[in-house]
Structures are given as C-alpha cells and as structure tokens.
Amino acid sequence: MAQLSLRDLRRHAVARSLFAPTTLVGAVQRLGGFVQADPLRAPARAQDLTLRHRVKGYAAGDLERRYPQLPLQEDFFINYGFVTPELRALMHPRTARRVWDPARWRQAEAVLAEVARLGEAHPADVDAALNHGTVQNWFGGSSRLSTELLDGLHYRSRLDVVRRDSGTRCYALGPVWTPAADPQAAMDALADALVQKYAPLPAASLSQLISMLSAAAPQWRERRSTTLARAKARLAHRRVEGVDWYWPAGEDPSQGWRIPTKVRLLAPFDPVVWDRRRFELLWGWAYRFEAYTPAAKRVRGHYALPLLWRDQVIGWANLKVVAGRLQHELGFVERRPQEPAFDDALDDELRAMAAFLGL
C-alpha cells in the first residue's frame, strides 16, 4: 500500500459509503445492516435522507410505506433504526441492563397477553384495555405506562414492530430467540458491522463504537474490551498524521477512489458525517446537530444538512417547504465555490431533493 494521507482517507470515506444506488434492502446491507432513524422531519426524516443517496428512485417515506413487506425490522443497535434479520439475530435474546421488578413484569405479562389477543397492537388499544396510567419518561415528561412497557418488551426481545400508524409503532409477538452458540463470535460480527458502516475510523472512534455495543447486546457487555482488541488485530490499519486509522481488511484507501463532481446534502446522521471526531479530522471544522439546541444558541440552524462538494464538506444547508416549494439557505465554512460546476451541481441536488419530497 502506498503512503497514506488524510486526503486518501477522506476520499475512501466518501466513496465507500456513497456507493452506486441499489435496492432498498441492498443499501441497508451495504450500510452494515443498519440505518439510523430519527422522528424529526426537516424536510424529511433522517432515514429517508440517508437512503435517498443510496437507493434507486427513492422517495421520502418509502421505508415506512414498504416496511411491512420488507425483510427489515425496527430495533436498537448502537442507536434506534432499521436492521437486517442477520444483524438483529446477533443481538437477541437481550438481557436488559435495567432490571424490572416482579410487579413490573406482571404488568408486562398483561401487555403481552393483550398483544397476543389483538394480533397487532396499537399502544392506544393496549392502554384502553389495561389502563396502566402514566409514568415519568427518560426526559422528565410523562408517558403512558403501557407504551413504555411495549417499548421495553420490544427491546427485551419479546415484541416486533410490524408497522406504523401515523408514525406510532404497532406491535406483534416476536419470535422465540435462540442464544448465540458463540457470544464472542457474535460480538465480533457486531463490531464488523460498525466498521463496515463507518470506516475508515480513527482509533478513538473505533473504541467508542464498540463500547456502544453495550446497548445492542448488554448481556455481553463484559466482552467489549476483548472485542476491541480482536477487531484491531484483524482490521487493516495505518498511522496517518499521528492518528491510528482502521478499516476492513482487503480495502485500500490509497487506490484512487473516483469521486463524482456532485453536491450532496447529507442527513445529520449520514454515515459520512455521523462520527464528529472523524469529521473534524477529515474536514477540519466542527459540525454539530442543533435541533435540540435553544434557538438563540444555534450557529448553523435547526436541522443544518452538511453540504458535500466532491470529497469536501464545505458548508451546510437549511431546507424548508413553503407553499409547496423547496426553499434553501446555505452557509459555508470559508467561501462559496466560484466555479460554475458547483452552481450546476447544487441546482441538480436541489431538484433531486424536491423530487424526493414529491414537490
């Protein structure tokens, strides 16, 4: 392998993630078997903004519309999203770190019985039947206890999400899971899925991601240190400008990746920009997701989309739909590119975004 530079790693990161558009399931498989979800729609949900670059003819909402017929499941990996059956099978059955006491389990068993009776259960129907009342949720507000139990049972391998009703998860009884015969092999495979999605990774980010597997498979959290050591031993790696970087064995970041002359507006959780540590190393500035930042303290906007031009993230865009038309505001780290090719590529991306949104 030739001498590596940050430019090589940057082009490697862009080219391997923004592959030629394929099928919806094929794209999720190429993304390590997982696409992160987020409920905010500005101007579309994060999962749709991620898939639009990687799925042929993708339109906003296609994942949710097609979900009941797809071999994908909503589940928690290192965060919440959609996973392939192969990835999901590596994580279950889960033993949650938060232990329910016998009283809470009796309530949960009542929920399971009601889901079994209904076949497919909307949280409102379960709550109407059981009248469990409310409980304080993790961000200090109140939620229906039945809804909290449904979510908890889903995480604990007892329920599947079968569809959404106006954005609300509807559940059915899940399969009976067989524990992994080799837990360490399962953890290694989970680590490989993370590397497949987010490589090339600086060493600190690789360590952080593998530590996050304690949420994916809390029953094996004591194996995280061993999993990290084994990953470092089998992955390709190189030290570049004082930082150790890792990527799948067999890939060559120095091979001269082809980067199209395109503008892409990326979701805040797109794999290209998700790791903020890697982002700063590759592009030299700090991007922050500010949707939950008080408006007066925002620097770039409520839902600023990183703006990728060729292999450089040079700024951001805030988009909104007004009277059926897409409006945009751009910001740049330094200055707007002066070459006509940028203006043409930006116009192409905005037209593609409008079509994706059905405008």
DSSP conformation letters of 232-257 = HHHSEEEEETTEEEEE-TT--TTS--
Q: For the chain, what's the residue count?
A: 359
Paired tokens of 128? 């109407």
Q: What is the pLDDT of residue 137?
A: 63
| pLDDT 10s digits, 269-302 | 999 999 999 999 999 999 999 999 999 999 999 9
Q: Is the pLDDT of residue 140 over 90?
A: no
Residue 140 Rama label (left phi>0; alpha psi -120 to 50; beta):
left
Dump strand ranges (E) for 198-354: 201-202, 236-240, 243-247, 263-265, 305-309, 312-322, 325-332
Considering only residues 140 and 357, tell me which one the structure prediction assigns the higher pLDDT: 357
Which tens digits make up the pLDDT trace of 168-189? 999 999 999 999 999 999 999 9
Q: Which of 74-88, 251-265, 336-350 has the lowest mean pLDDT?
A: 251-265
39-43 long-range Cβ contacts below 8 angstroms, 24+ apart: 39/167, 40/291, 40/303, 42/291, 42/302, 42/303, 42/319, 42/320, 43/319, 43/320, 43/321, 43/326, 43/353, 43/357
pLDDT (mean) for 73-82? 97
Contact (Cβ atoms closer than 8 angstroms) between residue 315 and residue 330: yes
- Burial group, residue 110, by CB count within 10 angstroms (0-12, 13-18, 19+): middle
Contact between 114 and 130 (Cβ < 8 Å): yes
Q: What pLDDT, on a 0 to 100 scale, did the predictor assign at position 131?
A: 82
> What pTM does this model have?
0.93
Element containing residue 171 per DSSP (H, E): strand 168-173
Range in 29-38, 44-53, 251-260, 301-310 the model is least confident about: 251-260
Once rounded to an integer, what is the mean pLDDT over residues 303-317? 97
